[in-house]
């Protein structure tokens, strides 16, 4: 669960990515993609293939091996702080949480 929190916490950093992509507002998966690329891809592989830049950060597509997708929303309630070194603490809106989960569900193996 700690690894999932780590992966998702980065995905929740958020306001700047939303401001950069007003045209993506119609598709939650695309909004989630924009958020995770902007906030998570420095450590995690966020697409359908490739290795994570940080070998300790699991690719988003493999998160279902560690945590059921339908339980991820509970992970995001309130402030996310995994305690991982170098991992920032994030606050996310419900819409951002939903978008990130939609994206992760779309890329999971």
Domain limits of the chain? 2-107
Distance CA 10, CA 26 (A): 23
pTM of the full predicted structure? Answer: 0.69
Q: Is residue 87 predicted with pLDDT exceeding 80?
A: no
Neighbours of 109 (CB within 10 A): 10
Q: CB–CB of 8/100 below 8 Å?
A: yes
**Cβ-count burial of 100 within 10 angstroms (0-12 exposed, 13-18 middle, 19+ buried)?**
buried
Chain segment 48-73, per-residue pLDDT in tens: 999 999 888 889 888 878 777 777 77
């Amino acid at each position: 669960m700690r690894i999932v929190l780590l992966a998702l916490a980065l995905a929740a950093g958020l306001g700047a990515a939303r401001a950069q992509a007003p045209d993506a507002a119609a598709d939650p998966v695309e909004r989630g993609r924009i958020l995770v690329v902007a906030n998570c891809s420095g450590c995690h592989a966020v697409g359908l293939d490739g290795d994570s830049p940080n070998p300790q950060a699991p690719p988003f597509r493999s998160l279902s091996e560690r945590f059921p997708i339908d339980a991820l929303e509970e992970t995001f309630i309130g402030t996310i702080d995994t305690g991982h070194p170098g991992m920032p603490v994030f606050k996310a809106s419900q819409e951002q949480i939903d978008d990130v989960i939609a994206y992760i569900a779309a890329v999971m193996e």
